[in-house]
Structure 1
Amino acid sequence: MVKDGEYVAIFNSIHRVMKAEKLLKEKRFPMLLIPAPRALTSDCGLAIRYAEAERGAVEGALAEADLLPEETYVKQGEAYVRVSG
């Protein structure tokens, strides 16, 4: 589901993740709403996945809309490495 090098943004509520998804879709960023990986905890059970190439644009748009995720991880091999939050 999540490929090596992809980012996973975890939000603290279903409302925030849905708002973030709507915003990113409106801006036509390539991203996907996914079930939060089992290795990561999520109060709402959903996460947003995006590629490293889109990281700056995606996170910039979320910051501008005051929708930064609670935590962000990058997949490296079989592990998820926390990069923010």
Structure 2
Amino acid sequence: MIKDGDFIAIFNSIHRVMEAERLLKDQGLKILLIPAPRSLAADCGLAIRYAEDVRPQVEAVLSGAGLLPRDLYRKNGDNFEKIGEEK
């Protein structure tokens, strides 16, 4: 379900993730509402998955709507790398 390189957006509430899904689908963007991976903490249990090729559009829509995710991860092999986290 989640391929290497996919992005996983985690939100603070079910309301926010559902609103984000609606906005993104209304824009025709290829995203998928998925159960949040167990290794990632998610208050609402759901997350949005999207690929690298739509990342700029997805994040622009979310930013414009004030719906940026609480956390953003990228799948890398068996792990999820947190985006924006200092190494």
> TM-score scaled by structure 2?
0.95
SS in 2 for 1:72: strand
Q: CA RMSD in A?
A: 1.0
1:45 aligns with 2:45: yes
Can you list the C-alpha shifts for 1:1-30, whole angstroms capped at 9, x where unaligned? 210000000000000000000000100000
SS in 2 for 1:47: strand
Which runs of 5 or more structure 1 residues have no equivalent in the other structure?
none
Can you list the C-alpha shifts for 1:45-67, whole angstroms capped at 9, x where unaligned? 00000001111110010000000
CA distance in 2, matches of 1:17, 1:43: 11
Q: Residue type of the partner of 1:27?
A: Q
Which contiguous aligned blocks of 4+ residues in structure 1 show a shift greater than 3 angstroms?
A: none
Size of the aligned set, in residue pairs, is 85
Which runs of 5 or more structure 2 residues have no equivalent in the other structure?
none
